């Protein structure tokens, strides 16, 4: 987005993807779909997502490599995008070696496309430098130039320390530190649809509101420990026997503390190995949940199991989390130096 705002006619491609979504009669990588919305271009899977290594793809390739002209598909997509746009962003997938099994590691693809690399690595000092040492070696082995490195998800209080030590290490290796992005808690918030999947849930009401974001969790037995003047977008995890009493107590506390907006994004009704369709239909608080447009999910897990599964969710930016896309753009604008990238583009154009 920053390069687009700088005036470039920008194209995008995810040469090798791992997670497919249906797009009409075709399939595309989920990141290609996300970027088509963020950058506002019509998605053409053969061009913007030419190769997807889904389940069974690698063994099928190893059995009959000639049946899968993956490299030709990537090259054809790159030619078309280069013809259409003055600058094309090719997004990597996973670590630099991902895709090696089909001859299309990130480093190999970058060499094939004569691309320069901006490397993004998660924050820290020792582990970050260790990962950078391995990652940069693969690209250098292929003769791929690295424009610089962005360190992501760094705790705000450690940003200067990371900038100092990682920056010095990169300088010794002849590389540039382009920026350090702070960890932003809002980017780690899941939505109800993600929680439903993680807990093997089934929607009881308000499937249309599963895009609600969740900033925190309330156990039904611990409602009184929460401060609803400060907490919002919460998920209530509770058994069918306690759901109505928990909701009533939340309403009482909101009234006492003059909280105008009801603080729940959703409710998970826990089970004991089964789902609670019949029990939910008989709940006296069902109409309240319908009126408030609060999505309700039933899970066969108990409260502990539900919270444990939710805590292990790996949250990603996707088309259902537009606030995350916008916040990520803001973080890049605020913390990344684009000048080295722009200079590389000018050198290439010249």
User: What's the CATH number where 197 sits?
Assistant: 3.40.1390.20
One domain, residues 85 and 114 = yes
Q: What is the reported pLDDT for 315?
A: 77
One domain, residues 42 and 100 = yes
Is residue 132's pLDDT more than 60?
yes
Cα–Cα distance measured from residue 254 to residue 271, given in angstroms and rounded to the nearest whole number: 27
One domain, residues 167 and 254 = no
Confidence grade of residue 271 (pLDDT, cut at 50, 70, 90): confident
Is residue 349's pLDDT more than 70?
no
Q: What is the reported pLDDT for 5?
A: 67
**What residues contact 77, with CB distance under 8 A and at least 6 apart?**
13, 15, 46, 47, 48, 50
Of 29-38, 150-159, 195-204, 242-251, the range with the lowest mean pLDDT is 29-38
- Written as six digits, the tokens of 101 are 């099994």
Cα–Cα distance measured from residue 264 to residue 216, given in angstroms and rounded to the nearest whole number: 9
**What residues contact 259, with CB distance under 8 A and at least 6 apart?**
228, 229, 253
CATH of the domain at 103: 3.40.50.300
Confidence grade of residue 7 (pLDDT, cut at 50, 70, 90): confident
Q: What is the reported pLDDT for 104?
A: 94
Cα–Cα distance measured from residue 17 to residue 94, given in angstroms and rounded to the nearest whole number: 9
CB atoms inside a 10 Å sphere around CB 350: 5
pLDDT averaged over the chain? 90
One domain, residues 99 and 15 = yes
One domain, residues 74 and 155 = yes
Q: What is the reported pLDDT for 287?
A: 95
**pLDDT 10s digits, 299-318:** 999 888 998 899 888 777 77
What is the SS3 assignment for 78-89?
HHHHHHHCCEEE
One domain, residues 56 and 102 = yes
Q: What is the reported pLDDT for 347?
A: 57
Q: What is the reported pLDDT for 346?
A: 66
Q: What is the reported pLDDT for 322?
A: 78
**What residues contact 237, with CB distance under 8 A and at least 6 apart?**
217, 218, 219, 220, 267, 268, 270, 303, 306, 307, 310
Structural domain containing residue 39: 2-184+320-349
One domain, residues 218 and 328 = no
One domain, residues 156 and 278 = no
DSSP assignment string, 93-141: -SSTTTTGGGT--HHHHHHHTT--EEEEEES-SHHHHHHHHHHHHHHHH
One domain, residues 44 and 176 = yes
What is the tally of structural domains in the chain?
Answer: 2
One domain, residues 125 and 51 = yes
One domain, residues 207 and 257 = yes
**What residues contact 132, with CB distance under 8 A and at least 6 apart?**
119, 121, 149, 166, 169, 170
Mean pLDDT score, 177-181: 96
Is residue 20's pLDDT more than 80?
yes
Of 55-69, 287-301, 316-330, the range with the lowest mean pLDDT is 316-330
One domain, residues 161 and 217 = no
Which is more confident, 7 or 287?
A: 287
**pLDDT 10s digits, 211-248:** 999 999 999 989 999 999 999 999 999 998 999 999 99
């Amino acid at each position: 987005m920053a390069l687009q705002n700088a005036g470039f006619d920008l194209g995008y491609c995810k040469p090798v993807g791992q997670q497919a979504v249906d797009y009409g009669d075709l399939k595309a990588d989920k990141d290609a779909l996300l970027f088509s919305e963020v950058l506002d271009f019509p998605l053409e899977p053969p061009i913007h997502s030419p190769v997807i290594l889904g389940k069974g793809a690698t063994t099928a390739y190893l059995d009959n490599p000639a049946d899968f002209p993956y490299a030709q598909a990537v090259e054809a997509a790159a030619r078309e995008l280069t013809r259409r746009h003055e600058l094309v962003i090719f997004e990597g997938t996973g670590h630099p070696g991902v895709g090696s099994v089909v001859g299309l590691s990130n480093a190999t693809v970058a060499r094939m496309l004569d691309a320069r690399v901006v490397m993004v690595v998660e924050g820290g000092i020792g582990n970050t430098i260790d990962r950078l040492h391995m990652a940069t070696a693969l690209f250098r082995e292929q003769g791929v130039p690295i424009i610089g490195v962005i360190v992501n998800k760094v705790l705000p209080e450690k940003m200067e320390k990371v900038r100092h030590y990682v920056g010095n290490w990169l300088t010794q290796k002849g590389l540039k530190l382009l920026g350090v992005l702070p960890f932003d808690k809002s980017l780690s918030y899941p939505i109800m649809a993600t929680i439903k999947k993680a807990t093997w849930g089934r929607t009881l009401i308000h499937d249309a509101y599963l895009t609600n974001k969740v900033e925190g969790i309330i156990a039904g037995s611990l409602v009184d420990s929460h401060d609803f003047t400060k907490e919002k977008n919460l998920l209530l995890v509770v058994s069918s026997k306690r759901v109505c009493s928990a909701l009533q107590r939340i309403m009482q506390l909101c009234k006492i503390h003059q909280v105008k907006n009801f603080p729940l994004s959703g409710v998970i009704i826990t089970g004991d190995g089964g789902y609670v369709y019949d029990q939910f239909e008989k709940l006296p608080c069902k109409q309240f949940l319908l009126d408030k447009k609060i999505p309700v999910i039933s899970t066969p897990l108990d409260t502990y199991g539900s919270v444990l599964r939710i805590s292990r969710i790996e949250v990603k930016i996707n088309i259902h989390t537009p606030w995350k896309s916008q916040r990520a753009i803001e973080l890049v604008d605020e913390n990344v130096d684009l000048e080295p990238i722009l200079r590389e583009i000018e050198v290439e154009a010249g």
